[in-house]
């Protein structure tokens, strides 16, 4: 009988935070198993909610301040200060896609300038260890804006400073680093990023994520060329020895990874950096069932998304894994090889995007209830010819409810 549940979802972009998603799943669990033990483990991947989650987990605090948003307007934002002196800069809190109005979604024009302002503000507090969380970005400027905020001057062939935005990088002639904040040289900057994301090439950030951020096919081609030129000039003028073109993580957050790597930052796999702080492996191992969730389950999920990482870790201790997703896309079946035992979409019927986003919590709770009732039904199936054909241990497990069901897909 299932009594202990590890609930470890990511957020649903523009709908639910990871915390809200965990609460919604727990509500669905309690409808079916009223006295269930639920361990809520809202997970962050460097995107929205990262600074807040790490501050809450480690007894840190948030520092609120104004900064430049992705479309160039001032916004209210924050970074976190942890007890060990680390500052956590969450790029999504100042340059995230949710901060870009739909009518202004042009990744060639948006900027990471505010990310540089947050790093500078963190330096002002005395922090010399900075963790930058990458994810949920609304930008594709290669981190150029962040470097500008930190004192670099991006100059065209006539010596004029370039305006902000990735599109402008095609006109870049040289980078003047004489004004870079000198404190950067004595600061340990680590970037928690998806190592699958690279800056250039066919899998480059402009081609893979540009359309999601509002780019047309023409804009994607223009931006891809601009970012390739950016990588070339960065490598030359900052004397970078690392591969900024297609090195792991260089494409994180629209290329912010490459820009920060040029300043000497270390690009690290985000789950290695973030999830170890939550004792995740031990908490998953204690559960009878692991439930995780994300906005879309598809061919990109195995490439560094939270459900894939949860399944991989749960598989080490033999825990069954259920994934709930806002949508099920092409290639979703590939997650089974990672340790996902069953998955299900949360929408009960076709609805508008506005309704889906607005009622995400309700749909997620209802979907959790439906999935668990299916699992309960599977546990009560009688023995007979069908189970008799199974190996004895597997048939017994199915009847007792310990066999992982395959009926929820």
Question: Looking at the predicted structure, is the pLDDT value of residue 28 above 70?
Answer: yes
Question: CA-CA distances (angstroms) from residue 32 to 160, 324, 381?
Answer: 65, 16, 18
What pLDDT does residue 385 have?
58
Closest CA to 25 of 292, 244, 209, 281: 292
User: What was the pLDDT predicted at 384?
Assistant: 58
Overall residue count recorded for the chain in this entry: 409
Mean pLDDT, residues 172-201:
96
For the chain, the straight-line distance linking the first and the last C-alpha, in angstroms and rounded, comes to 21
Torsion of CA 157, 172, 132, 106, to 10 degrees: 130
> Which tokens is 177 given?
């680093």
State how far the Cα of 382 lies from the Cα of 29, in Å rounded to an integer.
Answer: 24
**Summary mean pLDDT of the chain:** 90
Domain 50-273: CATH superfamily is Glycerate kinase, domain 2 (3.90.1510.10)
Beta-carbon contacts of 98 under 8 Å, excluding residues fewer than 6 positions away, are: 13, 14, 48, 92, 136, 138
Provide the whole-model pTM. 0.80
CATH code of the domain made up of 4-43+279-400: 3.40.50.10350
The tokens for 257 are 């990874």
C-alpha torsion angle, residues 222, 224, 226, 231 (rounded to 10): -170
Where do the structural domains in the chain lie, given as residue ranges?
Answer: 4-43+279-400, 50-273
Where would I find the beta strands (DSSP E) of 239-285?
266-269
pLDDT score recorded for residue 1: 72
Tokens standing for residue 76: 């209210």
Confidence of residue 271 (pLDDT cuts 50, 70, 90): confident
Average pLDDT rounded to a whole number, residues 168-188: 97
Decide: 116 and 150 in contact? Cβ < 8 Å.
Answer: yes
pLDDT (0 to 100) of residue 407: 37
């Amino acid at each position: 009988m299932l009594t202990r549940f590890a609930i470890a979802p990511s957020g649903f972009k523009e709908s639910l935070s990871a915390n809200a998603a965990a609460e919604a799943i727990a509500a669905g669990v309690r409808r079916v198993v009223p006295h269930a033990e639920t361990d809520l483990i809202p997970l962050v991947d460097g995107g929205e909610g990262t600074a807040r989650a790490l501050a809450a987990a480690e007894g840190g605090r948030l520092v609120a301040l104004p900064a430049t948003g992705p479309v160039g307007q001032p916004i209210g934002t924050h970074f976190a200060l942890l007890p060990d002196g680390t500052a956590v800069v969450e790029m999504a809190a100042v340059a995230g896609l949710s901060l870009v109005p739909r009518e202004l979604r042009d990744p060639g024009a948006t900027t990471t300038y505010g990310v540089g302002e947050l790093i500078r503000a963190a330096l002002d507090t005395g922090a010399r260890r900075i963790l930058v969380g990458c994810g949920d970005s609304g930008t594709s400027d290669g981190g150029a804006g962040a470097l500008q905020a930190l004192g670099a001057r991006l100059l065209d062939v006539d010596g004029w400073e370039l305006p902000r935005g990735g599109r402008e990088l095609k006109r870049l002639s040289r980078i003047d680093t004489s004004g870079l904040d000198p404190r950067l040289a004595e600061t340990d900057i680590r970037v928690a990023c998806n190592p699958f994301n690279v800056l250039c090439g066919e899998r480059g950030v402009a081609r893979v994520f540009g359309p999601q951020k509002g780019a047309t096919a023409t804009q994607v081609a223009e931006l891809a060329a601009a970012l390739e030129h950016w990588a070339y000039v960065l490598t030359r003028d900052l004397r970078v020895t690392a591969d900024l073109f297609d090195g792991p993580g260089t494409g994180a957050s629209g290329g912010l990874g490459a820009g920060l790597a040029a300043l000497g930052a270390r690009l690290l796999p985000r789950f290695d950096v973030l999830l170890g702080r939550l004792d995740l492996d031990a908490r998953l191992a204690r559960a009878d069932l692991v439930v995780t969730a994300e906005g879309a389950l598809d061919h990109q999920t195995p490439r560094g998304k939270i459900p894939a990482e949860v399944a991989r870790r749960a598989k080490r201790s033999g825990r069954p894994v259920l994934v709930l997703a806002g949508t099920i896309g092409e290639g979703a079946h590939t997650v089974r090889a990672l340790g996902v035992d069953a998955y299900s979409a949360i929408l009960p019927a076709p609805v508008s995007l506005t309704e889906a986003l607005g009622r995400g919590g309700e749909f997620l709770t209802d979907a959790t209830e439906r999935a668990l009732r299916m699992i309960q039904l599977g546990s009560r199936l009688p023995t007979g010819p069908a189970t008799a054909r199974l190996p004895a241990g597997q048939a017994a497990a199915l009847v007792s409810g310990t066999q992982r069901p395959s009926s929820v897909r």
